[in-house]
């Protein structure tokens, strides 16, 4: 590559690399790269397309020297499988043409296999062919755009995986409710808030009556169906300020700000009774209710008190509610 060619490539490389390193988002980075490419090739029209997925449509992400009507027409035309942009999106990297138009695939290598992430399309309406320096500049722009898109996609995948890990860490896989770890954290926060505001927090713990017998009659699939039905009912009936969680095999808990834990528990018991048989099994639950600060001043104490009350409710029969301290 001659010195003029290097200079032309450098004219794109410097602003493009700066945008890649410092760009706030993908759209801004691609716009800067396309702007640098347009400057390097003078009077050409430049358009950058991003593939929305393997074998899917091309999205016009950035352009220069194109009127709004031209952008709309080009975006629509690129959907034609025979259009040069669509053809380039399916092909391997080729050097920019020596004529007055070029379509350069945006290529990254993934485990030795080329992946096309989009196309850089350039057209010089006056017909003057691209010289070597301009072709080098366009190659640099295409490579920078490919790296920018690839980095954005990897970042999106990392974010999605992080979200998935957070969901797995905080949710019960069978019912989708919060898990015990999440409940403990929420309860601690609610207790601290209630302590500051001098208010109450109620905890109601629920246990499916005769769950073992239901499991033995219908098998684990029937037992899982019962647990999911109970979980769905609890989730539908609680208030927006309440938190419902599965904390054991057939045990659930609700953290309810305020002193109305018994009222909340009674409403939930009635809703579960109204379910009717689930896989042939009649479903009822028993509940134990405790209240901060009367029955405990920490998450462990409060939950332990509610579990103790639950034991009393179960001893009294199916579908019963017990408090730690009545009244």
Place of tokens 């890990």: 165
Which pLDDT belongs to residue 278?
A: 78
Q: Can you read off the two tokens belonging to residue 228?
A: 């999911």
- Backbone torsion region of residue 298, taken as left when φ is above 0, otherwise alpha when ψ lies between -120 and 50, otherwise beta: beta
Q: Can you read off the two tokens belonging to residue 306?
A: 């509610």
Residue 116 CA to residue 92 CA, distance in Å, equals 8
Query: Before 245, cis peptide (omega within 30)?
Result: no
Nearest to 33 by CA among 9, 45, 8, 15: 15
Cβ atoms of 104 and 96 closer than 8 Å: yes
Strands 201-208 and 285-292: antiparallel
Residue 137 CA to residue 36 CA, distance in Å, equals 9
Which pLDDT belongs to residue 15?
A: 67
Residue 305 CA to residue 191 CA, distance in Å, equals 15
- Encode the chain (327 residues) as per-residue pLDDT tens digits: 454 444 555 556 666 677 766 766 888 888 888 888 888 887 788 999 998 754 567 888 888 888 888 888 888 888 888 888 888 888 744 444 446 688 899 888 877 778 888 899 998 866 678 888 888 888 888 888 888 888 887 776 656 555 544 554 678 888 889 898 889 989 999 999 899 889 999 999 999 988 887 777 767 788 888 899 999 999 999 888 899 999 988 999 999 999 888 999 999 999 998 887 877 778 889 999 999 999 999 999 999 999 999 999 999 888 999 998 644
Strand-pair partners of 291 = 202
Q: Give the other-Cβ count within 10 Å of 67's Cβ.
A: 10
3-state secondary structure the chain: CCHHHHHHHHHHHHHHHHHHHHCCCHHHHHHHHHHHHHHHCCCCEEEEEEECCCCCCEEEEEEECCCHHHHHHHHHHCCCCCCHHHHHHHCCCCCCCCCCEEEEEEEEEECCEEEEEEEEEEECCCCCCCCHHHHHHHHHHHHHHHHHHHHHHHHHHHHHHHHHHHHHHHECCCCCCECHHHHHHHHHHHHHHHHHHCCCEEEEEEEECCHHHHHHHHHHHHHHHHHHHHHHHHHHHCCCCCEEEECCCCEEEEEEECCCHHHHHHHHHHHHHCCCCECCECCCEEEEEEEECCCCCCHHHHHHHHHHHHHHHHHHCCCCEEECCCC
Residue 116 main-chain phi, psi, to 5 deg: -95, 120
Cβ atoms of 71 and 63 closer than 8 Å: yes
Nearest to 268 by CA among 221, 222, 208: 208
Structural domains of the chain, ranges and CATH numbers in brackets: 3-168 (3.30.450.40), 180-323 (3.30.70.270)
Residue 92 main-chain phi, psi, to 5 deg: -75, 165
């Amino acid at each position: 590559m001659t010195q003029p060619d290097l200079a032309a490539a450098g004219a794109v490389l410097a602003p493009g690399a700066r945008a890649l390193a410092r760009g706030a988002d993908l759209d801004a980075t691609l716009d800067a790269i396309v702007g640098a490419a347009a400057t390097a090739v003078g009077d050409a029209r430049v358009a950058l397309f991003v593939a929305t997925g393997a074998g899917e449509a091309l999205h016009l992400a950035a352009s220069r020297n194109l009127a709004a009507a031209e952008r709309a027409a080009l975006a629509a035309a690129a959907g034609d499988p025979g259009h040069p942009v669509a053809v380039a999106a399916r092909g391997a990297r080729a050097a920019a043409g020596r004529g007055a138009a070029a379509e350069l695939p945006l290529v990254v290598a993934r485990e030795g296999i080329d992946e096309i992430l989009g196309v850089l399309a350039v057209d010089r309406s006056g017909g003057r062919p691209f010289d070597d320096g301009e072709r080098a500049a366009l190659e640099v722009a295409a490579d920078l755009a490919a790296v920018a898109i690839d980095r954005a996609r990897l970042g999106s995948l990392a974010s999605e995986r992080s979200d998935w890990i957070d969901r797995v860490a905080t949710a019960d896989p069978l019912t989708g409710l919060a898990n015990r770890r999440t409940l403990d954290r929420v309860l601690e926060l609610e207790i601290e808030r209630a302590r500051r505001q001098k208010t109450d927090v109620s905890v109601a713990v629920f246990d499916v009556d005769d769950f073992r017998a239901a499991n033995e009659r219908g098998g684990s699939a029937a037992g899982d169906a019962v647990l999911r039905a109970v979980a769905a009912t609890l989730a539908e009936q609680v208030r927006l300020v309440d938190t419902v969680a599965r904390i054991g095999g057939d045990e659930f808990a609700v953290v309810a700000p305020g002193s109305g834990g018994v009222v909340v528990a009674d409403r939930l018991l009635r809703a579960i009774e109204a379910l009717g048989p689930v896989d042939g099994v009649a479903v009822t639950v028993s509940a134990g209710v405790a209240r901060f600060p009367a029955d405990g001043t920490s998450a462990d104490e409060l939950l332990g008190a509610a579990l103790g009350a639950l034991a009393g409710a179960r001893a009294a029969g199916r579908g019963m509610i017990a408090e730690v301290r009545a009244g």
